[in-house]
Amino acid sequence: MIPRDKLNQLETELHEMQDLISDPAIISDARRYRDALRLFKELGEINQAWKHYQQLETHIEEVKLLLESETDSEMTALIKEEAFSLDSQLETAELKLRDLLIPSDPNDTKNAIVEVRAGTGGEEAALFVADLYRMYSYYADIKGWKHSLIDANETGLGGFKEIIFQLNGEGVYGLMRFESGVHRVQRIPVTESSGRIHTSAVSVAVLPEAEDIDVEISENDLRIDVYRSSGHGGQSVNTTDSAVRITHLPTGIVVTCQDEKSQIKNKAKALKVLRSRLLDAEISRQEAEIASSRKAQVSTGDRSAKIRTYNFPQSRVTDHRINLTSYNLDGFLAGNIDEFIQALRIAWRNEKVNE
């Protein structure tokens, strides 16, 4: 059943929010104004969907009355056809309303910072970090997102011990958030002469890009070190102290950046990552509290959980959270991962409904 009283109340709240976002006191507070605008937009979408639903109901009642008074057989058939179409539209409208009534996560609309790190498996894990980086880059191209490198720690065979990059676009974090966790790969390493299949692991952390108004950082809480950036093998790739290391003293979080030749640009990138890690830590804490009271299927505070296995001999990729398997591993690594991400998003939204 549609919660009619609640929907009518939300319509009233929409008019109240319209007055609120015009209040100078709200406009002068960046955080409150941003949150008010977001809520106003959400209420507007719900109200529009509710009006459409009511219009369909009215139309259906009119068609029913018309059907009762109609005696011509051909007209009766046409009216019944229209009634069937309207019933289908009403069902779709109800599903949309229910979807809109699920509380949204304000972070879903943010850009994302993705950190991919080699775990167990040595050089083979580092090579798989490179594979995942390419996969996410291809996916970003398919979605029309921009991607830019923040920092990377290369190895000798073309892999990465760690790579950090940013994805910019519409609703990036809302989709990429489900990639956080441990990704396991099973294949014969290029360094293995006996042909044995090895299992390696890579960790992925997806952070919502934090703005200044999301996370406040005091300069007194930071220790900033500068040093000469270097590439693989230790050779100098810059003749100035452009690389930046920032330590957040209260939490012990350390962020480095040496991708840019400018120290100022590296500092700005490092601060962006630091803010995002602090925001992600708060999100993880909140999700852990939720997970402690119920068994979460998709999104939990445990970022060390194994979420997916990539099996090269069988060309198989399996997501363990929703038991979804594909036997097109090459296509998956070419960026065709939307089927998995959308399935995870649906499962996540179903969890929200049950909360």
pTM of the model: 0.65
pLDDT on residue 341: 93
Which pLDDT score is estimated for 294?
A: 43
Q: What is the model's pLDDT at position 137? A: 97
pLDDT at 291: 53
- What is the CB neighbour count within 10 angstroms for residue 193? 8
The pLDDT-based confidence of 231 (bands split at 50, 70, 90) is low
Chain position carrying tokens 């507070």: 29
Segment 137-157 mean pLDDT: 92
Q: Computed over its alpha carbons, how large is the radius of gyration of the chain? A: 26
Q: What is the pLDDT of residue 187?
A: 93
Inter-residue contact 47 to 11 (CB < 8 Å): yes
Q: Does 278 score more than 70 pLDDT? A: yes
Q: Which pLDDT band, with edges at 50, 70 and 90, does 164 fall under?
A: very high
Q: Which two tokens stand for residue 354?
A: 């049950």
Question: Between residues 63 and 294, which one has the greater pLDDT?
Answer: 63
- pLDDT tens per residue, range 93-133: 988 887 788 766 778 888 999 999 999 888 899 999 999 99
Which residues, 6+ apart, have CB-to-CB distance to 25 below 8 Å? none
Distance CA 213, CA 217 (A): 10
Give the Cβ contact number of residue 154 at 10 Å.
17
Rounded mean pLDDT of 34-44?
84
Give 217 or 159, the one with higher predicted confidence: 159
pLDDT band (50, 70, 90) for residue 236:
very low
350, 344 in Cβ contact below 8 A? no
Quick one: pLDDT at residue 346?
81
Rounded to an integer, the average pLDDT of 35-64 is: 90
Lowest-confidence range among 147-156, 256-265, 292-301? Answer: 292-301
**Average pLDDT of every residue of the chain:** 84
Statement: residue 272 has pLDDT above 60 = yes
Contact 257, 269 (CB under 8 A): yes
Question: Cα–Cα distance between 277 and 60 in angstroms, integer?
Answer: 52
Joined together, the tokens standing for residue 20 give 């609120």
What percentage of the chain reaches a pLDDT higher than 70? 88
pLDDT at 214: 65
Q: What mean pLDDT is predicted for residues 249-264?
A: 85
Q: Is the pLDDT of residue 140 over 80?
A: yes
Q: Could you give the CA distance from residue 336 to residue 133 in angstroms, rounded to a whole number?
A: 14
pLDDT in tens, 183-227: 999 998 876 666 788 899 999 999 888 875 567 788 888 899 888
Q: Please report which confidence band the pLDDT of residue 235 belongs to, taking 50, 70 and 90 as the band edges.
A: very low
Query: What confidence score (pLDDT) does residue 239 get?
Result: 53
Average the pLDDT over 323-341 and give the result.
96
Inter-axis angle of helices 73-101 and 30-69, to 10 degrees? Answer: 160
Query: Angle CA(29)–CA(31)–CA(34) in degrees, nearest 5?
Result: 100
Which pLDDT tens digit goes with each residue over 170-181?
889 989 999 999
pLDDT at 355: 53
